[in-house]
Chain A
Amino acid sequence: MSATTGVAPVQTAGRRSGARGGALRVIARRCLFYLGTAWAAITLNFLIPRVMPGDPASVIITQLAQRQPITPETEQAIRALFGQPEGNIAQQYVDYLGELSQGNLGLSTTYYPQPVWEVISTGLPWTLTLVGVTTVIAFLLGTGLGILSGSRPGRLADSVMAPLATLLGSMPYFWVGTLALLAFSVTVPWFPSQNGSDLSLDPGLSVEFIASAIHHAVLPALTIIVSSIGGWFLGMRNMMITTIAEDYVQLAEAKGLSRWRVMMSYAARNAMLPQVAGLAISLGSVVGGSLLAEAVFAYPGVGYLFYQAVVSLDYPLMQALFLTISLSVLAANFVADSIYVLLDPRTREA
């Protein structure tokens, strides 16, 4: 996140007294930034339905009224969340924050009469598992291959992997998903083409359910890994090539240390730092990518819910999902950022 990504090499963290305190101070500052960003996301969520054309509150009220008569309180809550053409904007903002602080995000119009948070909580475990596991796999695999490739630039492995990674990174998530379906679900029916698990099984910690869930997750996971691995690989490869030319790496080589030790403990350890910083920023795009992958595979996570909400004009669900996704990405960013501060002593001095 900081502008100091990989400039001067600092080989080992010189742990002076107070280094920890410095780290805490920096993390506290980052925490403040993310709180501010969270406020910005909440405010954006307030502004969007009011600034964009149309009157979503009326649309929602009409949609709901078609199912059953709605009480004045419900109508008032909807107005508070989605705006009214007339009325004081400051007062509306206060009302909106009030509804939000009570955890009221409105009722979903497609899954009526479920409150949106209930709908979202059914999707969250699916997405968190899928995106969490695939991000870790793609990060480790891409970074590992990047170390291999970048430690011997121009050699066979590197000259095959680098263009391949560029190509993989350019393939749109939804197209990779479609091709994966064609290959492993239609042509060779190894994996199911939709849903998160066998619908006849009750979700729970039974062996059957978990096996079925893994079976269903293979293709979506493969899609996300294939489409996101290229970025990790290229980032690590380039940093590796830049780092092995540094004096301290050459010195390590001249000392006669084993190649493995030079590459891992000297070069890769420092070249890794921007990757961790990159992790923070690319989390947002991983979430976006999983959204497309989930739409292709009708995978029951928040991405698929989001897709359905937009297609069926379920504004309450759409807004709440945007807020949930943004806040989770911010939280994950904060964690990645904090790890970075702990890993790189240079960030504590600024």
Chain B
Amino acid sequence: MTATTPATAPATTAQPRRFRLRLTRNRKARAGLLILAVYAFVAIFGPTLVTHLLGQSPTAFTGQVLAPPSAEHWLGTNQDGVDVFAQLIWGTRSSLLVGLIAASTSTVLSVLVGLVGGYYGGVLDQVLGAVTNVFLVLPGLPLVIVLAGYLQGRGGSIAVAIVIGVTGWAWGARSKRIQTVSLRNRDFVTNAKLMGERDARVMGAEILPNLLPVISSTLMLAVVTSILAVSGLEFLGIGDVNTVSWGSMLRQAQERQALFSGAWWWFVPPGAAITLLGAAAGLVNFGVDEITNPRLRVPRAPRVKGGRA
């Protein structure tokens, strides 16, 4: 939720591979990517490992209620006597999945709007631009809450994820439109047009590949912001309240007054998981900013007063 929006990368778009290379070479971005990779690993393999190695389940009663962390229950148990660590790991999977669905939805929409508007220009571009601006200034969370309020849990978390995607594409569309505008008069695009290629093909085969670096980095950030949004909704009790996720864990802890029973192990871990994930995305964002704006690359050694990189 930072105000710093992913900077666009006009200079790097022509060389997708080099952009990716530089992203892994940037220290901050590398740290962020590493954390994201750990989350992805936990989401994919974690639940299996927890079930088979630790023998814990995210829903089963363990016989102990509100037990503090121990060798057997790494993060203790909650008021229903369920292992919190198992819930956290399963929650990683469902939270990441929902975030991925929401982010994919918003990314597809933003690419469509940005690409079509930027490519054709004219009235179509102006209309799409106006729609984009409207979605940019309408407050997102209240809109999502109203829509989810009507869903009443119909369609489960996936429906909520799609709602988040449908309301959150505007920023991406704007940056992709700018990219497309800068590309549409390049020689290779003109060439393809003169060869008589259809517009759809020019957009899909000539321009889209050049947008990929921007798409991939914004997709990653969109996954994280979507997870934040979904957790907020689940915390409010909107959406599918029966799935085990970070948001629903926090909601349960709040409802059952975990605060007042001192069960910190119940509500600190899910919040910390969300925060660390958000920080990882922030680091990647930092790295992207440093790559696209070389002035931001700060040398580590203290500098002479007023010195420049």
> Is A330 interfacial (CB-CB < 8 Å)?
yes
Q: Is the CB of B178 within 8 A of A167?
A: no
Bound CA–CA A292/B154 (angstroms) = 23
Query: Are A287's CB and B275's CB within 8 A?
Result: no
CA distance A153 to B178 in the complex (A): 29
- Interface pair A322/B142, CB less than 8 Å apart: yes
Give the CA-CA distance A34 to B235 in the complex, in Å.
32
A residues 283-298 near B (Cβ < 8 Å) are 283-285, 287-289, 291-292, 295-296
Q: Which of B259, B279, B298, B306 contacts A166 (CB 8 A)?
A: B279
Inter-subunit contact B259/A36 (CB<8 Å): no
* Contact of B142 with A325 in the complex, beta carbons under 8 Å: yes
Docked complex: B204-254 residues within 8 A CB-CB of A? 228, 231-232, 235-238, 250, 253-254
Instruction: Specify the chain A residue showing the minimal Cβ separation from B306.
Output: A253
Known pairs A41-B138, A166-B279, A288-B140; A154 contacts B303 (CB<8 A): yes
Nearest-neighbour CB distance to chain B for A268, whole angstroms, equals: 15
Interface of B is mostly: helix
Complex CA gap A235/B286 in Å reads 11
Residues of chain B within 8 A (CB-CB) of A172 are 228, 231-232, 235, 271, 274-275, 278
Q: Is A70 an interface residue (CB 8 A)?
A: no
User: Which of B3, B279, B303 has the most A CB atoms < 10 Å from its CB?
Assistant: B3
Q: How many residues of A contact B (CB 8 A)?
A: 77
Minimum Cβ distance to chain B for residue A278 (Å): 5
8 A Cβ contacts from B275-291 to A: 275-279, 281-283, 286, 289
Question: Closest chain A residue to B308 by CB distance?
Answer: A245
Q: Are B274 and A329 in contact (CB under 8 A)?
A: no
- Taking the closest CB of chain A, its distance from the CB of B32, in whole angstroms, is 9
**Closest chain A CB from B236 CB (angstroms):** 6
B281 / chain A contacts, CB cutoff of 8 Å: 170
Given A234-B3, A295-B236, is A170 in contact with B142 using a C-beta cutoff of 8 Å? no
Whether B2 is near chain A, meaning CB under 8 Å from some CB there, is: yes
Give the contact stretch, choosing among B17-25, B85-93, B128-136: B128-136
Whether B147 contacts A52 by the Cβ 8 Å rule is yes
B147 touches A48 (CB 8 A): yes
Q: Is B195 engaged at the interface, CB distance under 8 Å to the other chain?
A: no
Does B274 lie within 8 Å of A231, measured CB to CB?
Answer: no
Q: Are B306 and A241 in contact (CB under 8 A)?
A: no
Q: Per DSSP, are chain A's interface residues mostly helix, strand or loop, or mixed? A: helix
In the complex, which of the residues A175, A242, A282 contacts B295, with contact meaning CB atoms closer than 8 Å? Answer: A242
Q: Tell me how far the C-beta of A250 lies from the nearest C-beta in chain B, rounded to whole angstroms.
A: 8
Knowing A171-B278, A178-B267, say if A48 contacts B142 (CB, 8 Å).
no
Query: Are B250 and A178 neighbours in the complex by a CB distance under 8 Å?
Result: yes
Q: Is the CB of A170 within 8 A of B277?
A: yes
Q: Which chain A residues in 31-62 approach chain B with CB under 8 Å?
A: 33-34, 36-37, 40-41, 44, 48-49, 52-54, 56
Residue of A52, A169, A285 near B140 (CB, 8 A) is A285
Once the chains are docked, how many angstroms separate the CA of A174 from the CA of B251? 10
Given contacts A296-B254, A306-B142, A307-B236, contact A178 B293 (CB under 8 A): no
Asked if B149 is an interface residue, CB under 8 A from chain A, the answer is: yes
Q: Which residues of B lie under 8 Å from residue A52 when comparing CB positions?
A: 147, 150-151
Q: Are A288 and B141 in contact (CB under 8 A)?
A: yes
**Is B143 an interface residue when CB atoms closer than 8 A count as contact?**
yes
Q: Are B232 and A319 in contact (CB under 8 A)?
A: no
Chain B residues near A84 (CB-CB < 8 A)? none
Bound CA–CA A40/B170 (angstroms): 15
B91-120 to A contact mask, C-beta < 8 Å, 1/0: 000000000000000000000000000000
| Chain A 139-179 interface mask (CB, 8 Å, partner B; 1/0) | 00000000000000111001000100011011111110011
**0 or 1 for each of A226-256: is its CB under 8 Å from B? (1 = yes):** 0110111011001001100100001001000
B275 and A175 within 8 A (CB): yes
CB distance from A7 to the nearest CB of B (A): 12
Q: Is the CB of B146 within 8 A of A186?
A: no
Is B134 a contact of A230 with CB atoms below 8 Å? no
User: Is A280 part of the contact surface with B, judged by Cβ < 8 Å?
Assistant: yes
A182 CB–B CB distance under 8 Å: yes
Assess whether A285 is in contact with B296, with CB atoms less than 8 Å apart.
Answer: no
Inter-chain contact A310/B149, CB cutoff 8 Å: yes
Q: Is A281 an interface residue (CB 8 A)?
A: yes
Q: Using known A-B contacts A154-B303, A173-B232, determine if residue A278 contacts B3 with beta carbons closer than 8 Å.
A: yes
Q: How far is the CB of A192 from chain B (nearest CB, A)?
A: 14
**A217 located at the interface, meaning its Cβ lies under 8 Å from any Cβ of chain B in the complex:** no
B231 and A166 contacting across the interface, CB-CB below 8 Å? no
> Given A155-B302, A166-B283, A310-B236, are A288 and B296 also a contact pair (CB < 8 Å)?
no
Q: A169-B2, A310-B145 are in contact. List 6 more A-B contacts (CB 8 A).
A: A166-B282, A167-B282, A169-B278, A278-B3, A287-B142, A291-B141
> Which residues of B are at the interface with A, using a C-beta cutoff of 8 A?
1-4, 130, 133-134, 136-143, 145-152, 154, 178, 228, 231-232, 235-238, 250, 253-254, 259-260, 262, 264, 267-268, 270-271, 274-279, 281-283, 286, 289, 293, 295-296, 298-303, 306, 308-309
A-B contact pairs, 21 of them (CB 8 A): A36-B134, A40-B134, A54-B152, A171-B274, A175-B274, A175-B275, A178-B254, A178-B271, A182-B264, A235-B2, A241-B295, A287-B141, A287-B142, A288-B139, A288-B142, A306-B145, A310-B149, A311-B237, A318-B146, A329-B137, A330-B137
